[in-house]
Amino acid sequence: MNRENLKFLPSIDRLLSEPSLAPAIAEHGREHVRNIARKVIEKARKAIAEGTGESALKSPEEWADVVKKAAGEFSRPRLSEIVNCSGVVVHTNLGRALLAEEAAKAAYMAAIHNVNLEYDVEEGTRGDRDDLVEELIIELTGAEAATVVNNNAAAVLLALNTLSFGGETIVSRGELIEIGGSFRLPEIMSKSGCALKEVGTTNRTHLADYEEAVSEKTALILRAHTSNYRIIGFTTQPSNVDIAKFAKPKNIPFMVDLGSGAFLDLSRFGLPHEPTARETLNEGADIVTISGDKLLGGPQAGIIAGKREFVSRIKKNHLKRALRCGKITLAALESTLRIYLNPEAAIKNIPTLRYLTRSVDEIRAVAAKAKERLEKYFGGAAEIYLLDDICHAGSGALPEMDIPSVSVAIRHKEMGPNELAAWFRRLSPPVIGRVGDDVFRLDMRCVENADSVIPENLTF
Ligand SMILES: *Cc1c(COP(=O)(O)O)cnc(C)c1O
Are residues 237 and 345 both part of a single domain?
A: yes
- How far, in Å, CA of 305 to CA of 301, rounded? 13
DSSP state of 410: E
Q: Is residue 16 part of a domain?
A: yes
* Arithmetic mean of pLDDT over the chain: 92
Q: pLDDT tier at 440 (50, 70, 90 boundaries)? A: very high
The domain boundary residue, chosen from 349, 373, 396: 349
Q: Tell which one of 90, 91, 175, 179 to mutate to probe ligand 1, the residue whose CB is within 8 A of the most ligand atoms.
A: 179
Report the pLDDT averaged over residues 329-350. Answer: 97
Pocket lining: 289 vs ligand 1, CB cutoff 6 Å: no
Higher pLDDT, 4 or 40: 40
Q: Supply the residue whose CA is at minimum distance from atom 3 of ligand 1.
A: 259
Ligand 1 atom closest to the Cα of residue 225 is 13
Structure confidence at residue 229 (pLDDT): 63
Q: How many domains does the chain have?
A: 3
Q: How far is the CA of 170 from the centre of ligand 1 (A)?
A: 19
Report the pLDDT averaged over residues 4-15. Answer: 87
Ligand 1 atom closest to the Cα of residue 224 is 13
Are residues 306 and 440 both part of a single domain?
A: no
Pocket lining: 183 vs ligand 1, CB cutoff 6 Å: yes
Q: pLDDT tier at 274 (50, 70, 90 boundaries)? A: confident
pLDDT of 2 above 80: no
Buried/exposed 401-423: b ≥16 CB within 10 Å, e otherwise: eebebbbbbbebeebebeebbee
Q: Can you say whether residue 66 is alpha, beta or left, with left for phi > 0 and alpha for psi between -120 and 50 degrees?
A: alpha
Structure confidence at residue 122 (pLDDT): 92
Pocket lining: 302 vs ligand 1, CB cutoff 6 Å: yes
Report the pLDDT averaged over residues 360-388. Answer: 96
Structure confidence at residue 228 (pLDDT): 60
Q: Is residue 459 part of a domain?
A: no
Pocket lining: 153 vs ligand 1, CB cutoff 6 Å: yes
Are residues 311 and 361 both part of a single domain?
A: no
Asked if 61 contacts 17 with a C-beta cutoff of 8 angstroms, the reply is no
Q: How far is the CA of 155 from the centre of ligand 1 (A)?
A: 9
Cα separations in angstroms, 214 against 193, 225, 227, 229, 251: 18, 21, 26, 28, 11
Q: Supply the residue whose CA is at minimum distance from atom 12 of ligand 1.
A: 259
- How far, in Å, CA of 37 to CA of 74, rounded? 12
Q: How far is the CA of 145 from the centre of ligand 1 (A)?
A: 21
Q: Supply the residue whose CA is at minimum distance from atom 1 of ligand 1.
A: 259
Look up residue 250 and give its amino acid.
K
The domain boundary residue, chosen from 349, 371, 403: 349
Q: Is residue 150 part of a domain?
A: yes
Report the pLDDT averaged over residues 192-219. Answer: 92
Contacts of residue 335, defined as CB under 8 A and 6 or more positions apart, other chains included, come to 100, 102, 103, 105, 106, 107
Report the pLDDT averaged over residues 333-362. Answer: 96
Are residues 267 and 131 both part of a single domain?
A: yes
Are residues 133 and 17 both part of a single domain?
A: no
The domain boundary residue, chosen from 24, 41, 75: 75
Q: How far is the CA of 103 from the centre of ligand 1 (A)?
A: 22
Q: Is residue 117 part of a domain?
A: yes
Assign residue 393 the CATH number of its domain.
Answer: 3.90.1150.180
Are residues 426 and 446 both part of a single domain?
A: yes
Whether omega before 272 lies within 30 degrees of 0, making that bond cis, reads no
Are residues 153 and 206 both part of a single domain?
A: yes
Interval 233-242: pLDDT, tens:
777 788 999 9
Are residues 120 and 45 both part of a single domain?
A: no
Pocket lining: 226 vs ligand 1, CB cutoff 6 Å: no
Maximum separation of any 2 CA atoms in the chain, in Å: 86
Interval 213-233: pLDDT, tens:
999 999 999 999 876 666 777
Structure confidence at residue 381 (pLDDT): 95
Interval 114-131: pLDDT, tens:
999 999 999 999 999 999
Q: How far is the CA of 348 from the centre of ligand 1 (A)?
A: 25
Pocket lining: 188 vs ligand 1, CB cutoff 6 Å: no
Q: How far is the CA of 291 from the centre of ligand 1 (A)?
A: 6
Q: How far is the CA of 92 from the centre of ligand 1 (A)?
A: 11
Are residues 236 and 379 both part of a single domain?
A: no
DSSP state of 136: H
Are residues 204 and 291 both part of a single domain?
A: yes
Q: Is residue 460 part of a domain?
A: no
Are residues 150 and 8 both part of a single domain?
A: no
- How far, in Å, CA of 406 to CA of 131, rounded? 43
Assign residue 186 the CATH number of its domain.
Answer: 3.40.640.10
Torsion over CA of 347, 351, 356 and 357, rounded to 10 degrees?
Answer: 30
DSSP state of 392: B
Structure confidence at residue 201 (pLDDT): 81
pLDDT of 99 above 70: yes
Structure confidence at residue 242 (pLDDT): 95
pLDDT of 165 above 60: yes
Kindly report the backbone phi and psi dihedral angles of residue 387, in degrees, each rounded to the nearest multiple of 5, phi listed first: -130, 125
- How far, in Å, CA of 333 to CA of 309, rounded? 24
Q: Is residue 210 part of a domain?
A: yes
- How far, in Å, CA of 441 to CA of 385, rounded? 10
Higher pLDDT, 178 or 90: 90
Report the pLDDT averaged over residues 165-170. Answer: 97
Pocket lining: 237 vs ligand 1, CB cutoff 6 Å: no
DSSP state of 272: -
Contacts of residue 235, defined as CB under 8 A and 6 or more positions apart, other chains included, come to 174, 203, 204
Q: Supply the residue whose CA is at minimum distance from atom 14 of ligand 1.
A: 259
Report the pLDDT averaged over residues 345-354. Answer: 96
Q: Is residue 33 part of a domain?
A: yes
Q: Is residue 301 part of a domain?
A: yes
Q: Supply the residue whose CA is at minimum distance from atom 6 of ligand 1.
A: 152
Pocket lining: 227 vs ligand 1, CB cutoff 6 Å: yes
Interval 67-87: pLDDT, tens:
999 999 999 999 999 999 999
Pocket lining: 277 vs ligand 1, CB cutoff 6 Å: no
Are residues 302 and 338 both part of a single domain?
A: yes
How many other C-beta atoms can be found within 10 angstroms of the C-beta atom of residue 145? 20
User: Which residues constitute the domain of residue 247?
Assistant: 101-349
pLDDT of 460 above 60: no
Ligand 1 atom closest to the Cα of residue 301 is 7
Buried/exposed 287-315: b ≥16 CB within 10 Å, e otherwise: bbbbbbbbbbbbbbbbbbbbbeebbeebb
Q: How far is the CA of 306 from the centre of ligand 1 (A)?
A: 18
Cα 397 from chain centroid (whole Å): 12
Interval 279-328: pLDDT, tens:
999 999 999 999 999 999 999 999 999 999 999 999 999 999 999 999 99
Q: pLDDT tier at 271 (50, 70, 90 boundaries)? A: confident
- How far, in Å, CA of 46 to CA of 52, rounded? 9
Residue-level length of the chain:
460
Structure confidence at residue 61 (pLDDT): 92
- How far, in Å, CA of 371 to CA of 450, rounded? 9
Nearest alpha carbon to residue 298 among 262, 272, 266, 273: 262
- How far, in Å, CA of 369 to CA of 363, rounded? 10
